[in-house]
Amino acid sequence: MNNIGVLMTCPMSEYLENQLENRFNLFKLWNHSSPKPDFLKTHSSSIKAVVGNTKIGADANMIDSLPNLEIVASYSDGLDKIDLGKCKEKGIKVTNTPDVLTDDVADLGIGLALAVLRKICVCDRFVRSGNWINGDFALASKFSGKSVGIVGLGRIGSAIAKRAEAFNCSISYHSRSKKPNTNYKYYSNIADLAADCQILFVACALTEETHHIINRKVIDALGPKGILINIGRGAHVDEPELVSALLEGRLGGAGLDVYENEPNVPEQLFSLENIVLVPHVGSDTEETSKAMADLVISNLEAHFKCKPLLTPVL
Active site residues: 233, 262, 280
The three-state secondary structure class of 26 is strand
Residue ranges with strand state E in 5-77: 5-8, 25-28, 47-52, 71-74
Is residue 276 a contact partner of residue 256, using CB atoms and an 8 Å limit? yes
Cβ density class 282-304: b for 16+ within 10 Å, e for less: bbbeeebbebbbbbbbbbbebbb
133 DSSP assignment: G
The three-state secondary structure class of 13 is coil
Is residue 199 a contact partner of residue 149, using CB atoms and an 8 Å limit? yes
The three-state secondary structure class of 35 is coil
**What number of residues does the chain have?**
314
- ∠ Cα 256 257 261 (to 5°): 90
Burial class (CB in 10 A: 0-12, 13-18, 19+), 267: exposed
**Number of neighbours of residue 161 by Cβ within 10 angstroms:** 21
In 3D, which of 270, 220, 225 has the Cα closest to residue 242?
Answer: 220
